[in-house]
Amino acid sequence: MCSDEPDDRGRQRHPASIRPAADGLGEGFPEARAWHLLDDRLVTEADAAGGLTPALTRRMLALIDYAVRGGADAVLLSCSMYGPAAGLARRLHEVPVTGSDEAVFADVARRRPGTVLVLGSLDSAAADSARRLKEAADGVEVRAIAAPGAAPAAAARDWPDLTDALARAAAPHLDGVELVLLGQYSISPVHAELADRLGLPVLSPPLAAARALREALA
């Protein structure tokens, strides 16, 4: 719920995360039936306000409540900005509720790699993901790199061009890197192809979230 396509400041504006979230479920939780709910003003209004406000948090909580009351067995938020709302929602509902990248950050923390390279389509998006990863995985060195050309390739769903853009950006920064993390849902569909190109594990946030929800509901 919410969106994932970044603007020129790295904020998420368009519903580009819906398809990658569905793809992640298809790969990591194929028996799940997806129900997509979108409030396409949640992010733009938070951006205009300079961040989350109590009113916007209540709106996201109301959307989560709507999903649960409608029969959802679990809820995945596909926008990193509203991650704090997931924690609040878990206090209110018995079903699993997860933020967009909580599962992938937990995976990194479990693996405890020495150095992680975070890739994004823009500097601000990569830096934001890297900052939150450092908070979640204490002691892990995190590098953040933007990939020129990744945003238009992802928007066009041109997966070969997206893989090329990410691989070109990552190549000069791989010394000592043990793990690559894709910092946005919109660039996650090429995680397997990028892993083959780089010869390193590449983590996909929507895939990690799907697997975590599957395990929680098992």
Same-domain check for residues 96 and 141: no
- What are φ and ψ of residue 115, in 5° steps? -140, 135
Q: How many domains does the chain have?
A: 2
Judgement on whether residues 80 and 117 belong to the same structural domain of the protein: no
Q: Is the pLDDT of residue 48 over 90?
A: no
Q: What is the pLDDT of residues 173-187, one digit of tens each?
A: 999 999 999 999 999
Do 118 and 89 lie in a common domain? no
> Same structural domain for residues 173 and 131?
yes
Report the share of the chain in percent with pLDDT over 90.
76
The residue count for the chain:
218
- If you average pLDDT over residues 89-96, what whole number do you get? 96
pLDDT of residue 7: 46
Interatomic CA distance for residues 10 and 2, integer angstroms:
15
On whether both 160 and 186 belong to a single domain, the answer is: yes
Whether 14 and 90 share a structural domain: yes
Question: Which two tokens mark 32?
Answer: 């799940």
User: What pLDDT was estimated at residue 43?
Assistant: 80
Same domain, 84 and 153: no
Residues 139, 86 within the same domain: no
Q: 72 with 126, same domain?
A: no
Domain identity same for 78 and 111: no
Burial class, 82, CB count within 10 angstroms (exposed 0-12 / middle 13-18 / buried 19+): buried
For residue 76, what is the domain's CATH number? 3.40.50
Q: Are residues 171 and 194 in the same domain?
A: yes
CATH number of the domain within which 130 lies: 3.40.50.1860
Which residue matches tokens 């002691």? 139
Compute and round to an integer the Cα radius of gyration of the chain. Answer: 16
Q: Assess contact for 61 and 88: CB atoms under 8 A.
A: yes
Give tens-digit pLDDT for 108-119: 999 999 999 999
Domain residues for the domain of 69 are 5-100+212-217
- Are both 95 and 108 inside the same structural domain? no
Distance CA 188, CA 197 (A): 15
Cα-Cα end-to-end distance for the chain: 22
